[in-house]
Amino acid sequence: MRSIGKHSGGAARSAGRTMLASFAAVLLAANLGAQSHQSVPDVTTLSMEDLMNMQVTSVSKRTQKVADAAAAVFVITQEDIRRSGATSIPEALRLVPGLEVARIDENKWAIASRGFNGRFDNKLLVLIDGRSVYTPLFSGVYWNVQDVMLEDIDRIEVIRGPGATLWGANAVNGVINIISKKAKDTQSGVVTAGAGSEERGSGGVRYGSKIGDTSYRAYGKYFNWGPSLYPTGMTAHDGWDAMRGGFRADWTPAGANSLTLQGDIYHSKYGETLTVPSLNAPYSSTFPNNGNYSGGNILGRWNHSSEGSSMSLQMYYDNTTIADNSLFVDHQNIFDMDFQHGFHVGDSQQFVWGLGYRSIRDRNDSSFSVSLQPNQVTLNHFSAFVQDEISLVNNRLRLTFGSKFEHNDFTGFEVQPNARLLWTLTPNQSVWTAVSRAVRTPALTEEGLRLNSAVIPPATPTNPTPFPAVVTVFGSHQFQSEDLLAYELGYRVQVTSSLSADIATFYNRYSNLRTAEPGAPFIEGSPAPTDIVIPFVASNKMSGGTYGAELFADWRVAPKWRLVGSYSYLQMNIQKNSDSLDPTPDNPNGSSPRHQWYLRSSIDLPKHFEHDTTLRFVDHLPSLSIPSYYSLDAHLGWRPVPRVEFSIGGQNLLDNQHLEFIPDFINTAPTVVKRTVYGSMTFKF
């Protein structure tokens, strides 16, 4: 762990003053610029393609424009995904300002918002069409499980910062909401095929039609990724293939009611190089390991809309099996039900409330390295939320107050309130601020985990006993929720009809963060002792603050040329409490980049060609000994006729390879991100 000396508080205050002064300067400059362009139209009259006029639902659980949202929200559109050349959801998420996206190996990712990045990041809530995809095993996301037909995504809404008031526990540092198109918008057939140097082959097919008042679609897709390389240059064992299928049907008769039914089924195999401890010499082994995941889900949603009021009832069932051979097998069955009601109170108030219930059944099969007790458990989660939005001063001032109330089987009752304010300074600029509390509730691993992380051979200086010593991490029933108190301030401006900017700043104060406290060693083994256990027990003895800024600008240089750019700064001052005895050097301060930026150019060329280029910079990760890197991605598309598209893209074009992240907890071998090319064809009928 990097030490934080006496100067950290002064440095934080100095940096905070600098950030505040910079924000004020930008606010003043943009205000003068905006006032000097009297011909600037109202932001709400701009094209739907413009960032500040995008429709979002994740901030307040109702449709509103980005310009009206009192949160750091960013929207990735279907056009952004198509023109970026992304072939997976994590690749598309690289477009989000401030989001930390790092690849561990060919089939594993570390994705986080505002710090604390890792494969098992537990402070980011992810939803697909309203279905939460976090796993109760570690309160995070298996990114290699989450996939959809990319052509059917309508948009991806990303909130940086707490979203717990509406979405509940674990929406601590952000919310990612992947929203697919309605069935009525996919009334055609699509066939896709592609191949490249890394993704060796992929294909998909989707067909949509209509029967009476019901629109429907069905899809299937497959991909195969070849192995990457270890940093030494040797070929890795991290190939990956998956197949998936699904459907969606929307019943939309004339009237106030509508119904949606959708579902998916999937199966995948993947590889990794795994190192596990052993009680026998040489006391650890490294070998190629294979795993697979499979499952399915089905979701139903009823909506009722009338003048001034709306109601919805959503239910889904989700089954997932993760089988990491030689390590751990986990079976999850999740049932979730959510009701929401929104209505107007007079002309100036919008009130929304809701109730939720979630049942989780988890069963797992253990190994010497990883086990959970009990190995079969049923968890029940109850929730309710209320939120009131009040419009004042001719709708130029909007106050939002709300709170989430939850009860879980780990820590009992949790309250997560927030207050937000949006001030529309002029028709084309606004300032927003928010104060929020969010919690990250314990996961199954923090309650009943036993992780044998290493074995110290007997009769050595560190273990003079005649028995091997097993360094073991245990969960604890005394583990509490991690707490966040967040302060945010943001500014948006439409400087001209072709230039917009968005600035978000934040200060987060965390408490009760997870540590591993040492316990008293003990002997185990029956009938005769076989080893000595050196225990470390999950506890809550780390705290601290983070602050930063995220900037995004969108400039339409010409009708057929668009430039967008972003820059994010993150400072983390997290340290163990004075009463912590955790000896491990692990610390989240150096696992997230302090500086990130990208510049993206999109040009429509003659003869139906289009060209996109993205230059990215990611700062070094000192705690992981990973250097900074630049990455250049390029995409060239051609539409000879409206229904046919050919494209070719390249990633990491500036260098041959680079490392992006190191695994945490589970000792799998990282692999490099290589220079790659990929070509694809899309045919619509």
Peptide bond into 606 cis (omega under 30): no
Q: How confident is residue 31, by pLDDT bands cut at 50, 70 and 90? A: very low
For residue 13, pLDDT beyond 50:
no
Helix (H, G, I), strand (E, B), or coil: what is residue 83? Answer: helix
* Domains in the chain with CATH codes: 7-684 (2.40.170.20)
Task: Report the run of H or E that residue 461 belongs to, with start and end.
Answer: none
Residue ranges with strand state E in 366-428: 370-372, 376-392, 397-408, 412-426
Tokens of 50: 């413009």
pLDDT tens digit string along 55-86?
A: 788 777 777 888 888 999 999 999 999 999 99
Mean pLDDT confidence for 17-31:
37
Residue 30 has pLDDT above 60, yes or no: no
pLDDT in tens, 619-655: 999 999 999 999 999 999 999 999 999 999 999 999 8
The radius of gyration computed from the CA coordinates of the chain, to the nearest angstrom, equals 25
- Is the pLDDT reported for residue 310 higher than 70? yes
Q: What is the C-alpha separation between 351 and 342, in angstroms, rounded?
A: 6
Per-residue pLDDT, 555: 96
pLDDT given at position 37: 37
Q: pLDDT at position 43, please?
A: 29
Token representation of residue 142: 């298996």
Query: What's the confidence (pLDDT) of residue 312?
Result: 96
Provide the mean pLDDT of the chain.
90
Q: Report percent pLDDT > 70 for the chain.
A: 92
Residue 53 pLDDT? 67
Identify the burial level of 170 via C-beta atoms within 10 angstroms of its C-beta, where 0-12 means exposed, 13-18 middle and 19 or more buried. buried
Burial profile 510-540: b = 16 or more Cβ within 10 angstroms, e = fewer: bbbbbbbbeeeeeeeeeeeeebbbbbbbbbb
Counting residues of the chain whose pLDDT is more than 90, the rounded percentage is 82
pLDDT score of 664: 83
Type of residue at 19: M
Distance (Å, whole) CA 333 – CA 376 = 11
Separation CA 13–CA 682 (nearest Å): 53
pLDDT in tens, 204-220: 999 999 999 999 999 99
Instruction: Using pLDDT thresholds of 50, 70 and 90, give the confidence band for residue 573.
Output: very high
pLDDT at 14 over 60: no
DSSP state of 641: E
Is the pLDDT at 479 greater than 60? The verdict is yes
State yes or no: pLDDT of 6 exceeds 50. Answer: no
- Segment 338-354 shows an average pLDDT of 93
Tell me how far apart the alpha carbons of residues 568 and 550 are, in angstroms, rounded to a whole number.
Answer: 4
pLDDT above 90 (res 543): yes
The model's pLDDT over 504-520, given as tens digits with 9 standing for 90+, comes to 999 999 999 999 999 99
Question: What average pLDDT does range 562-574 have in this prediction?
Answer: 97
Which letter, b or e, does each residue of 548-579 get, where b requires 16 or more Cβ atoms within 10 Å of its Cβ? bbbbbbbebeeeeebbbbbbbbbbbbbbbbee
Q: Give 439's contacts (C-beta < 8 A, 6+ positions apart).
A: 164, 169, 172, 414, 416, 481, 482, 483, 484
Residues contacting residue 453 through CB under 8 Å, at least 6 positions apart: 277, 471, 472, 473, 667
> How long, in residues, is the chain?
685
Structure token pair of residue 244: 């998936």
Strand ranges inside 197-254, DSSP E: 199-211, 214-225, 240-251
> Out of 7-16, 122-131, 173-182, which region has the weakest mean confidence (pLDDT)?
7-16
Residue 91, H or E segment: helix 89-93
Position 586 scores a pLDDT of: 64
Q: Any idea what the Cα angle at residue 303 is, between residues 351 and 245, rounded to 5°?
A: 125
- Asked if pLDDT for residue 530 goes beyond 50, the answer is yes
Averaged pLDDT for residues 492-498: 93
10 confidence band (pLDDT: 50, 70, 90): very low
Output the furthest CA–CA distance in the chain (Å, rounded). 86
pLDDT at residue 449 greater than cutoff 90: yes
Burial class of residue 649 in the structure, from the number of CB atoms within 10 Å of its CB (0-12 exposed, 13-18 middle, 19+ buried): buried
- Collect all residues with Cβ–Cβ distance below 8 Å to 477 and sequence separation of at least 6: 447
| Position 668 pLDDT exceeds 70 | yes
534 with 472: CB under 8 angstroms? Answer: yes
- Burial of 423: CB neighbours in 10 Å, binned 0-12, 13-18, 19+: middle
Beta-carbon count within 10 A of 2 CB? 12
Ranking 47-51, 289-293, 465-469, 608-612 by mean pLDDT, the lowest is 47-51
Mean pLDDT of the 145-163 span? 95
- Where does the pLDDT of residue 51 fall: very low under 50, low under 70, confident under 90, or very high at 90 and above? low
Measured distance CA(412)–CA(480) in Å, rounded:
10
What average pLDDT score do residues 320-337 get?
Answer: 94
| Amino acid at the residue 512 | N
Q: What is the dihedral of CA 636, 108, 542, 381, to 10 degrees?
A: 100
As a whole number of angstroms, the distance between CA 584 and CA 55 comes to 45
Is the pLDDT reported for residue 395 higher than 80? yes
Q: Please indicate whether residue 558 or residue 45 has the higher confidence score (pLDDT).
A: 558
